[in-house]
Structure 1
């Protein structure tokens, strides 16, 4: 079974434009994500899926310079982007990672993929976000190409097209699914990059990892990041209080307003 990670990324974030090409540890956020994901044991291919908008030329060019595979498709129909990228690489299973997760943990990704592989075809969707127990920014979703194709054909709402998986995970009768939970609930921790405060936090966390702990941000694990935050709890105050999955909630609101 061929497993492909597809990283969705674009420059047009409403809250933090250009975030995927901001610098962390001397490289872009996207490169850091790709480098961390390269340690996954269950993955055969990694693709960055960006849009064909002119403003995302910079994303494509940056990845091409690094010989990282890129697919370009519709800007707002991210579900279509995923389906076409997965079709091109002939993936049997797709791992959805977003371009705002610079500390994505390969061990967590492998664990979610492993759960999927062990129980396929009884399961067609496995994640660690329903409910979330890992830090925001370590979100992983794995689903079958069959599920992706059906969602691509049948999903109609804007939130289902923009956020890729709502059509799948909201229909457990069609797509048998499971959730992987952390032994300790870390869902209060925010390690994603969606606001300027998040960028300040991530830089401060990485600086502590390097200077005080001698850790590389390219390889540091979930447990090592947590230990740093235990020693320096004030870091959590930098970006505390921001709503998790704000973009998805806004899309759902637009769907409900459009239906009225």
Structure 2
């Protein structure tokens, strides 16, 4: 880790998801979804702090309790203005770089976090994302100044809810980068490893159980291998 640059991974989470309510607290072979996501992020070699950023709604008290149990920091803020939630978390954490993680992705890839942060630093970028990867495995890397500028300059509800559209849509203002994995086997946008519906939940529960029954790591390579066989 670079002691001069603080990296905070911020996992946005809420219990009021509409298609699959309280999905972040659902069990996935012995661990909740949010615990799975936190564990994946903790495998990163560059992250200094892990945060759960949730809302002040009463149902999200459970997420605060879970964050405390898992030993991660918790920030509670606006339900709808997720960009403000990220900005406030960044301010409190005093982070130089924010890794945006969403809580419905139990296969968030720690190697993507590491190479994304390094790519942003080496190329002096404001923002980095990934392309041609399994859906739900990637993250977004954002420099604090860019997040601050987006917070102060974006006023559309869509931009506030989805955090990064203002940055991505203003290429003249921000220096953007996109990473496509060198390994061809990881270029699988046809594979989905996110949980949005009950069908997704059942599929990934079975997938995680299969991997752990075989004592395999929850890595993208292993996931793709199983998907290929099926």
| Other-structure match for 1:244 | none
Q: Which residue of 91, 97, 100 corresponds with 2:101?
A: 97
Deviations for 1:202-256, whole angstroms, at most 9, x for unmatched residues?
A: 0111122123x331xxx4221111111122x2xxxxxxxxxxxxxxxxxxxxxxx
Shift of 1:163: 0.6
1:59-70 to 2 correspondences below 5 Å: 59-70=63-74
State the alpha-carbon separation in 1 of the partners of residues 70 and 47 from structure 2.
19
Q: Which residue of 211, 224, 227 corresponds with 2:225?
A: 227
Deviations for 1:16-47, whole angstroms, at most 9, x for unmatched residues?
A: 11011111131111111111111101111110
Shift of 1:107: 1.0
| Other-structure match for 1:257 | none
| Other-structure match for 2:158 | 159
Segments of 5+ residues of structure 2 without an aligned counterpart are none
Query: What TM-score comes out, normalization by structure 2 length?
Result: 0.94
State the alpha-carbon separation in 2 of the partners of residues 25 and 114 from structure 1.
33
RMSD: 1.1
> What SS does the corresponding residue of 1:174 show, helix, strand or coil?
coil
Deviations for 1:56-75, whole angstroms, at most 9, x for unmatched residues?
A: 11111111122221000000
Q: Following superposition, which runs of at least 4 residues in structure 1 exceed 6 angstroms of deviation?
A: none
State the alpha-carbon separation in 2 of the partners of residues 113 and 24 from structure 1.
29
1:73-222 to 2 correspondences below 5 Å: 73-120=77-124, 123-128=125-130, 132-182=131-181, 183-184=183-184, 185-211=187-213, 213-215=214-216, 219-222=217-220
State the alpha-carbon separation in 2 of the partners of residues 177 and 186 from structure 1.
22
Deviations for 1:49-96, whole angstroms, at most 9, x for unmatched residues?
A: 000011111111111122221000000000000000011010111110
Residue correspondences, number = 223
Segments of 5+ residues of structure 1 without an aligned counterpart are 234-260
| Other-structure match for 1:6 | 10
Query: What TM-score comes out, normalization by structure 1 length?
Result: 0.83
State the alpha-carbon separation in 2 of the partners of residues 109 and 222 from structure 1.
13
Q: Does 1:27 align with 2:28?
A: no
State the alpha-carbon separation in 2 of the partners of residues 133 and 76 from structure 1.
29
Would you say the 8 A contact 2:208–2:218 is kept in 1? Answer: no
State the alpha-carbon separation in 1 of the partners of residues 118 and 23 from structure 2.
30
State the alpha-carbon separation in 1 of the partners of residues 57 and 47 from structure 2.
28
